[in-house]
Amino acid sequence: MRRSFWVLAAFMLLALVVGGGIGRAQITEIQGEMRVGIVPNPVALILGGPVGKPYLPGPFFGVEPLSLEFVACCVADTSGEDVTFEWNFDYDGMAFEIDAVGPGPFAITYPSAESNKLVALRLTPETGDPVIISELVSVLEVSSDLVVVPLASAGGPYSGIVGSPVQFNATTSSDGIEYPDGVYQTNQNRVVEIEGLLYEWDFDTTAGTFVPDLGGIGLMAPTYIYDLPGGHTAALRVTDLDVDISSMTTAIVTIAPNQETVMLSPLSDSWIDRAEPDANHGIFETLRVQSDASANNRALVRFDLTSIPAGVEVDKATLHLFALQVPVEARTYGLHRVTSFWEELDVTWSSQPTGTSNYTDTADTRATPGRMDWDVTSDVDGMLSGILTNWGWLIEDANEYDINVGIGRTEYASQEHETESLWPVLEVSYHLP
């Protein structure tokens, strides 16, 4: 289990009452992994580490002579009774000899690497049976062939948004033995070396090339602001005082655009009818699209984009129309970008504007009333960048004059409809580059 010092320290403050060998049980949670509350017997964790270093769970490793500090954490029992803490720092698994009383912390030095040892904590409630908890302590002999190499872990994966700080965390090692600022690896064992480490970070490494952006002694939790969205690779390298350098470790960082989304109501909307070539329908509550041998209908809609800041990049733009009436048989409706001027109260079949020959997008009609959508991202991006002129869109049946498949008509709510929530909407999501 991986735990940072600050999380554990916070829980220790909740779990322990120091003094007189007695601690009041508290309800404690460790990163959602363990809940200590109403339990059959008293429970606790033994935490430890080199003196002056963060407390972490066992087992505990180090080279001779090994100085460690132990403390009881996250204590609870069945009824909130007072619990007595008793320690045996060289427990043989059979006879419990009391070396200290209280929750701690207690500093102990193991002078030699004669054998593995056990540190044991006995919890005794006011009523009921005592419980003994133990952890392994391995004292390693210093030898000439001991190869000391720092272990680095960049943590992650991380996520964030463009322009906002991303918090990194390198307080854990990659193999779960978690002494921030001092975990090292030999061929056979893990050892603890008490010294400051130089942390160097490359927040956007490319093709395995390590070029530090930031470095410092103990720099385990830096922040970094990314300017571009997408996937990035952060890398960490650790160096000890003997100039032993760890392998480069990496973490994936996913950065989302600093995205804004607006919902725009129409500037103009209308529909035109081939059967009435000079009729204007700009004040109608509906917009019609229809395939008919002599009465094709087409809808027109346009939106004001000036509320969107200049220079943005469009992530997604979608035209939404709400169908009040749908055809009996499914139809496909194509959307053209309009390329010439038109006005809501003047446009007719005879005076209809020009449009692109290709559809920007198509959508199939619904079986029941409801919303239909067309993707207009490329059009809106071009309009906002000034490459395209914004005259809106025209929607038509993709098979006009086709009376064999089935005659039918869709009626959409226009901006004149009494229910504003049914009006046409242009949804635009964008970000500043």
For range 203-217, the mean pLDDT: 86
- Residue 348: pLDDT band with limits 50, 70, 90: very high
Q: pLDDT tens-digit profile of 365-398? A: 999 999 999 999 999 999 999 999 999 999 999 9
CATH architecture of 5-140: Sandwich (2.60)
Q: Residue 225's pLDDT is what?
A: 95
Other C-beta atoms lying within 10 Å of the C-beta of residue 334:
19
Instruction: Report the pLDDT value the prediction gives residue 241, as an integer from 0 to 100.
Output: 66
Q: What is the pLDDT of residue 77?
A: 53
pLDDT class of 196 with cuts at 50, 70, 90: low
pLDDT, residue 172, reads 60
Q: How high is the pLDDT of residue 178?
A: 36
How far is residue 424 CA from its own chain's centroid? Answer: 33
Judging by beta carbons within 10 Å of its beta carbon (0-12, 13-18, 19+), is residue 145 exposed, middle or buried? exposed
pLDDT beyond 60 at 15: no
Residues of the chain with CATH 2.60.40.10: 5-140, 149-256
- State mean pLDDT over 274-290: 96
Sequence-ordered list of residues with C-beta below 8 angstroms from that of 220, at least 6 positions apart, any chain: 169, 170, 171, 180, 181, 199
The CA distance from 281 to 276, in Å, is 10
Q: Has residue 191 got a pLDDT over 50? A: no
Q: Worst-scoring range by mean pLDDT, 5-14, 274-283, 348-357, 418-427?
A: 5-14
State the pLDDT at residue 189. Answer: 37
**How many Cβ atoms from other residues are within 10 Å of residue 136's Cβ?**
12
Pick from 90, 81, 89: which is nearest to 130 by CA? 81
* Residue 248 Cα to chain centre, angstroms: 24
pLDDT band of residue 177 (cuts 50, 70, 90) is: very low
* Chain segment 215-270, per-residue pLDDT in tens: 988 888 899 999 888 899 999 988 876 666 777 889 999 998 888 899 999 999 99
Give 185 or 345, the one with higher predicted confidence.
345
Average pLDDT score over residue span 40-63: 77
Query: Which segment of 20-29, 79-88, 307-316 scores lowest on mean pLDDT?
Result: 20-29
**pLDDT for residue 229:** 85
Distance of CA 152 to the CA centre of its chain: 23
Distance CA 341, CA 329 (A): 34
Task: Please say if the pLDDT value at position 346 is more than 60.
Answer: yes
Question: How much of the chain exceeds pLDDT 70, in percent?
Answer: 77
Q: Is 194 exposed, middle or buried (0-12, 13-18, 19+ CB in 10 A)?
A: middle
**Percent of the chain that is helix, strand, coil (3-state, to 5):** 5, 45, 50
Closest listed residue to residue 121, CA positions, set 52, 74, 64: 74
Q: Which CATH class is domain 149-256?
A: mainly beta
pLDDT band for position 76 (50/70/90)?
Answer: low
Per-residue pLDDT at 126: 79
Task: State mean pLDDT over 409-424.
Answer: 96
Instruction: Please tell me the predicted confidence (pLDDT) of residue 176.
Output: 28
Q: Is the pLDDT of residue 10 over 60?
A: no
Q: Which of the four pLDDT bands, split at 50, 70 and 90, describes residue 407?
A: low
Higher pLDDT among residues 304 and 178, named by residue: 304
pLDDT of residue 356: 97
Per-residue DSSP letters for 195-212?
Answer: S--EEEEETT-BTTB---
CB of 327 closer than 8 Å to CB of 372? no
Two tokens at 34?
């363990």
Residue 277 pLDDT exceeds 90: yes
Query: For the residues 75-98, what does the mean pLDDT come to?
Result: 81
Of 32-41, 72-81, 128-137, 371-380, give the lowest mean pLDDT range: 32-41
pLDDT score for 73:
83
